[in-house]
Structure 1
């Protein structure tokens, strides 16, 4: 694919980083040399090779190089340490890790510094079979150790094409991305830009205060955001140049319905849902011109190649078709469980409206079971985050002898607000006005910042370390009755 893009688009700009710009031809040539260097180091077809780098040009070039060498890429989050890092490298069976000097000291096993791989022997590379595995893409789950989704070359190309069709990709587009490259979104966006011959602007990291300034600076017309990113941008003070941008579509997973129209009016561009998962790629898309979906929470319709059904009127979202992972590496039982009855079980609940659009109705696993009641964490988090003192919120279940589980809220405050019992009670009073009694958190704890997955979702397992009493200080009990 890089070869075709290089011959088709040649000297057009492909990758734009803060201090580097590469054409399609240059990216092809540099990834060829990296592939040769890896082969010189003993990498063979089918080997797993990890990448652990920040958002630097070496990340996408190494990804392309590993695939050109016939090997399988294992993306590694640069924030991983000790247990997470050991798990991914051991579980994947990675023969080596390509990295940069700042991350090398943390890595066990064979390490190849990127700077030492620049002058490999150029070799012809055999074209990949579409069904060959390209990535062991570890899921950024909020609980438990991640599992590797085996994603094929065909998976990646189909994912890129679906997104390109959704945004009606144009020759003058510029795509901007701010997620970590170890997450899948920058990877399919890279392929989308290879398909369309357009520039990809890669920001070092997501900055809520700087995102739209970067969009103006780079003339971005397309972007993708998810998780906490939209709300964090919305909480920035309005700027006189908010609408001074070239953006023509913002793709987003999880647009807050009551803020959807506000987003569009503030930044002057359509925001459209793209729903899917690492396991299944894009499952639902909302077309650009579907203005009737704004503010409804509709996640869209299945793209060509996909079928999406519901297990009940309001039930689990089930998916089959292509793209789809080949399964979880080293987890045949989890694979069989995920693909029961020939459908991939997403773990998300949904319902279908009168227009056929599917809406999200919570996560099956991201729930608190308080007595006989099920509490959607996402619903409570959304309400808590609307309090003026709250920047971000996470709800987790903690054990309780009487109720089985109780909801505990972790809150990150906006600057200027104190982490006091008075603030905690103010947030809870705000929730009581908007939620059923049983959904009100029993405890509140303040955090300076949240541990986030690469997809900007709160990594809840790190909020509940083993052996710690979640009711003890610094937790604040705010629901004395617990009924």
Structure 2
């Protein structure tokens, strides 16, 4: 295995040369499709590295990358690393507060972006196109333990923290997945998440390891995902967050099983829909559990058909240990890969690694086969009187209503109960945001959940703000100073007192 990401890129260029490496299909209204070979990507990222060094970037400097899903993103990542610097991925959807926090906290010396994004970026800006004609320059070789990324976590509350991820972290993460899926010479990878999130980055390394193409979609589209898979002959993909449910809610298509997909990796498969997914699209769906802090922690083997629909997340790969601190307790992880800590947050780092284990914040329980099942987030809870309510459990029931596209449950303060659950709902097209709809959803939940878990209030939203990992960003739902019981909220639990 190569020691650093630049080493891996150079090895792939020597070994696979003129094979296709990156395919960016483009979309309506965007630039034409772009395809790059391994050799071309190596040469272009060398020139980007030379341009950055020529502009004063030194080893250890942080360089932000704020680009859409386009060839410039992975080329800039590789170029920054070849210059010996640290990449700071920035979500293009960030605005003043988010952007200022990431750039200030990371200490980025410059941002690589496009003219379209440059106006909102404070500090030194390098336009992507202006770096393309750089001349390769010598840079000190990176070491496996050198930090490659300040990868900001996409937490649902508060400002994100930067996980310091080394070259070794990234290469181990990719190799663990490559071994688990049995990467083949005829595979075609496809990804639809924003490159600023970590998944397209480790999938890029999978492509470099196997010498196989990576198709990068401009964004996730539930209506176009499987059409893209058919068009490009994709055999492997990874989806997470709300993606599986949004795909499932698309109308059945006569060509649903007409594709080359041999495996769908997923984090958070809805157990009662797992078999339905496999039967509809004719491919196995297997869990991959991990985090930005710890990389892949649990993986389900492709041939583990007996686990379909059980919610099991698999077993720890070589080099990792995963335990629970109670029968139904917090999931604890140690081993490699693992972040070196949170940048600028030594107290948070010490708290996360107390007792020598990384504390994930996820609850789990172990089944008879030794597999761990997810049992909710420790902090993603509502404490109603003496009862704890798992937001994930209630949300999974709410989205089972035919009118509901997506749902988010949050606690709101209450003088009597301490907290009450409030549901924010995004409706499917054709359904009206009325009190009748709200009551229909609550009646649906009432037939499936304990009385204390039923939301006390419902509010409709046109859309949710999502994290780069396609999870609902709940911190945008509860605006300070606003009465969460007032209109447009609908009180649906008249007996909540």
Same fold by TM (over 0.5)? Answer: yes
Q: Distance in 1 between matches of 2:52 and 2:485?
A: 51
Establish whether residue 413 from structure 1 lines up as the match of residue 411 from structure 2: no
What does residue 4 of structure 1 align with?
A: 11
Give the structure 2 partner of residue 129 of structure 1.
143
Q: Please, which of 344, 347, 356 is the counterpart of residue 358 of structure 2?
A: 344
1:173 match:
187
Describe the superposition over 1:212-269 as per-residue Cα deviations: whole angstroms up to 9, x where unpaired: 0000000000000000000000000000000000000000000000000000000000
- TM-score, normalized by length of structure 2? 0.97
Distance 2:358 2:317 in 1: 16
1:28 to 42, 58, 72: 42
- Which residue in 1 is equivalent to 2:401? 387
Partner Cα separation in structure 2 for residue 199 and residue 129 of structure 1: 27
2:452 corresponds to which residue?
Answer: 438
Instruction: Write the distance in 2 (CA, Å) between the matches of 1:297 and 1:84.
Output: 34
**Partner-residue secondary structure (3-state), 2:203:** helix
* Residue deviations 1:443-464 (CA, integer Å, cap 9, x gap): 0000000000000000000001
Name which of 311, 328, 332 aligns with 2:346. 332
Instruction: Give the secondary structure class of the aligned counterpart of 2:116.
Output: coil
Name which of 96, 108, 118 aligns with 1:94.
108
Secondary structure of the corresponding residue to residue 165 of structure 2: strand
Q: CA offsets, 1:28-54, max 9 Å, x none?
A: 000000000000111000000000010
Alignment of 1:51 onto 2:65: yes
**Structure 2 residue corresponding to 1:155, chosen from 169, 185, 203:** 169
Tell me, in whole angstroms, the C-alpha distance in 2 between the residues paired with 1:161 and 1:293. Answer: 24
2:15 corresponds to 1:15: no
* Aligned residue number for residue 471 of structure 2: 457
- Once residues 221 and 83 of structure 1 are traced to their aligned partners in structure 2, the CA distance between those partners, rounded to angstroms, is 39
Q: Secondary structure of the equivalent of 2:46?
A: helix
The 3-state SS of whatever aligns with 1:296 is coil
TM-score (norm 1): 1.00
Q: Does 1:269 align with 2:283?
A: yes
Q: CA RMSD in A?
A: 0.6
User: Could you tell me whether the CA contact under 8 Å between 2:53 and 2:137 is conserved in 1?
Assistant: no
Partner of 1:249: 263
Cα distance in 2 between the residues matched to 1:74 and 1:233: 31
Question: Which residue does 1:314 correspond to in 2?
Answer: 328
2:3 aligned residue? none
Residue 465 of structure 1: CA displacement?
1.3
Q: Is the 8 A contact 2:59 2:140 kept in 1?
A: no
Q: Which of 216, 219, 230 is the equivalent residue of 1:205? A: 219
Distance 2:395 2:160 in 1: 23
SS at match of 2:88: strand
Superposition deviation, residue 127 in structure 1: 3.0
Contact 2:457 2:492 in 1 (8 A): yes
| Post-superposition CA distance 1:67-103 (Å, at most 9, x none) | 0000000000000001111000000000000001111
Identify the match of residue 130 of structure 2 among 116, 119, 136. Answer: 116
Q: How does 1:67-82 map to 2 (within 5 A)?
A: 67-82=81-96
**Alignment partners' CA distance in 2, 1:333 and 1:125:** 34
d(CA) in 1 for partners of 2:40, 2:139: 17
Q: Alpha-carbon deviation of 1:124?
A: 3.2
The answer (yes or no) to whether the contact 2:298–2:313 under 8 Å persists in 1 is: yes
Distance 1:81 1:435 in 2: 39
Paired residues for 1:279-294 under 5 Å: 279-294=293-308
Residue 397 of structure 1 corresponds to 411
Deviation at 1:355, TM superposition (A): 0.5
2:243 matches 1:236:
no
Task: Report the alpha carbon displacement of residue 346 of structure 1 after superposing the two structures with TM.
Answer: 0.3
Q: Secondary structure at the match of 2:255?
A: coil
- 1:391-446 CA-to-partner distances (Å, cap 9, x unmatched) read 00000000100011100000000000000000000000000000000000000000
SS at 1:78 equivalent = coil
Query: Unaligned regions of 5+ residues in structure 2, if any?
Result: 1-7, 26-32
The SS at the match of 2:237 is strand
Structure-1 residue corresponding to 2:4: none
CA distance in structure 2 between the aligned counterparts of 1:252 and 1:127, rounded to whole angstroms: 35
- Post-superposition Cα deviations, 1:261-319, rounded to whole Å, max 9, x if no partner, equal 00000000000000000000000000000111100000000000000000001100000
SS of 2:296's equivalent in the other structure is strand
Q: Distance in 2 between matches of 1:465 and 1:101?
A: 32
Per-residue deviation, residues 117-144 of structure 1 (Å, max 9, x unmatched)? 0111212344321100000000000111
In structure 2, distance between residues paired with 1:294 and 1:451 = 31
CA distance in structure 1 between the aligned counterparts of 2:199 and 2:77, rounded to whole angstroms: 14
> Which residue does 2:30 correspond to in 1?
none
